[in-house]
């Protein structure tokens, strides 16, 4: 059985004081839940150190929202895998649709980040997903296939098994729209089948594939009970401890 993994992507929200308050609320809201659900928090870079201290001794993992594929260098404003490891991160989001859209990140660039993360001992949460225009043109499967092949290029079966894939339909991120459980499940099936073709079905069966895109307490349970949806990459609903706690609870089947 694959674990359910719920990750909260805080994006560019919460200063240090806000982060302390939210983390304390989340640790309280998620206490006592079954160990079958893994929880990851991805606050802004400025809050990583304080988050690490507050999460010490809990079962909640710490992740970052982005990283560069170089170890170091003249890359103003960037951060390396080594830096993330030194502050206690175990996970890192790569290829989020907002990075693709606003910062022109390509599949090849995202692949470099994923490979560097894995080589550095970080677990990448690798994002893929189609735009509204692509879905309306019935290009979802084609677009996601190209993205998966690109971002997983040169990764071994072992690398892929360690990674987390997040399917995020771009049209459902921050819009209030959500893919229906059937739509989300169909794409998750496509991704799992594709990984099976690239490696083996045994590998495909081990890979955690999250859904991301306006996940909230009201729709979490029906999404998370789909056979191939192994968790959620949560945006807006992770910024309040009670709503994030309800999503964790849904993943736990409570």
Helix (H, G, I), strand (E, B) or coil at 47: helix
Please name the helix (run of DSSP H) or strand (run of DSSP E) that holds residue 159, with its range, or none.
helix 157-162
Nearest residue to 1 (alpha-carbon basis) of 50, 34, 24, 43: 34
Residue whose token pair is 């019935």: 138
Nearest residue to 100 (alpha-carbon basis) of 3, 15, 193, 166: 166
Backbone angles phi, psi at 253, to 5 degrees: 75, 25
Residue whose token pair is 């043109």: 137
Per annotation, catalytic residue among 68, 96, 188, 199: 96
The CA-atom distances, in angstroms, between 54 and each of 6, 23, 148 are 18, 7, 35
Coarse DSSP helix, strand, coil percentages of the chain, rounded to the nearest 5 percent: 50, 15, 35
Per annotation, catalytic residue among 98, 105, 130, 168: 168
Please state the separation of Cα 48 from the chain's center in Å.
Answer: 17
188 classed as catalytic: no
Are 151 and 112 a contacting pair, CB within 8 Å? no
Please name the helix (run of DSSP H) or strand (run of DSSP E) that holds residue 4, with its range, or none.
strand 4-9
Nearest residue to 161 (alpha-carbon basis) of 205, 122, 213, 207: 207
168 classed as catalytic: yes
Which residues are known to be catalytic? 96, 168
């Amino acid at each position: 059985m694959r674990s359910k993994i719920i990750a909260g992507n805080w994006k560019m929200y919460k200063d240090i004081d806000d982060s302390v308050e939210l983390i304390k609320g989340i640790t309280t809201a998620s206490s006592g839940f079954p160990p079958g659900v893994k929880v990851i928090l991805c606050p802004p870079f400025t809050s990583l150190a304080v988050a690490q201290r507050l999460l010490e001794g809990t079962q909640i993992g710490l992740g970052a929202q982005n990283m560069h594929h170089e170890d170091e260098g003249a890359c103003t404003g960037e951060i390396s895998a080594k830096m993330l490891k030194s502050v206690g991160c175990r996970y890192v989001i790569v290829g989020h649709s907002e990075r693709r859209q606003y910062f022109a990140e390509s599949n090849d660039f995202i692949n470099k980040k994923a490979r560097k993360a894995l080589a550095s001992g970080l677990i990448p949460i690798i994002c893929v997903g189609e735009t509204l225009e692509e879905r309306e043109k019935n290009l979802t499967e084609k677009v996601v296939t190209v993205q998966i092949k690109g971002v997983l290029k040169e990764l071994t079966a072992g690398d892929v098994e360690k990674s987390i894939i997040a399917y995020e339909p771009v049209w459902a991120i921050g819009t209030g729209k959500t893919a229906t459980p059937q739509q989300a499940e169909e794409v998750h099936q496509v991704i799992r089948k594709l990984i099976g073709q690239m490696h083996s079905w045994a590998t495909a069966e081990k890979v955690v594939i999250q859904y991301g895109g306006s996940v909230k307490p009201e729709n979490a349970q029906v999404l998370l009970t789909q056979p191939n949806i192994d968790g959620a990459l949560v945006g807006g609903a992770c910024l309040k401890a009670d709503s994030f706690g309800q999503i964790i609870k849904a993943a736990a089947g409570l």
